[in-house]
Amino acid sequence: MSVDTRDLLLKMKEHDFVYDSKIGKMVNKNHEEDKDYVFKILDLLYKNFHRVKYVDDLSPSVIGKNKWGILISQKYAVMDKRFPLPQVPFSIQYDGLMGSLFRGKPAYLMLIGFLQETEEEIYVSLNFKDEEYRKIYKKLSKDNELKSKIK
């Protein structure tokens, strides 16, 4: 399967999210609004793809200090590999500080501000349910990692 690297952002929207599950609806009463804003974030990243850098790990040792990162997952994901516990399906972070408590709308507005006020790259980690897309993303993030080391 051949998928354009930019289109992976749109592919993330094609499956049910944790927000759609019984647990997701029970835990988050605003699940529909949060899911809508996660989709808006994906669209915003798609429009600003020239600044998106795919990574498999958002830790400061990988992306660097004072950097912005976003994790979007179709299932519960491990945001921080040091803690092997399932965490929220969406997280925005700055300088290694997890912003998982941000709801979708404030995170979206923060991202708009980030994109307008800086020229920096934003690190994005996508976690697909679909095994095939997960393999494509894993390969792509490894390739990006190699390119970064070569520079």
The ranges assigned to domains in the chain are 8-150
Mean pLDDT along residues 101-109? 81
* 36 has pLDDT over 70: yes
Residue 57 to residue 148: CA distance in whole angstroms: 14
For β-strands 68-73 and 52-54, DSSP reports them as unpaired
H/E run at residue 9: helix 8-11
* 30 has pLDDT over 70: yes
Pick from 72, 32, 75: nearest CA to 52: 72
pTM of the model as a whole:
0.82
For tokens 């390739």, the residue is 143
Per-residue confidence (pLDDT) for residue 82, from 0 to 100? 56
Structure tokens given for 16:
């049910």
Helix (H/G/I), strand (E/B), else coil: 93: strand
DSSP 71: E
* 9 has pLDDT over 90: yes
Of the listed ranges 35-39, 61-65, 74-78, the one predicted with least confidence: 74-78
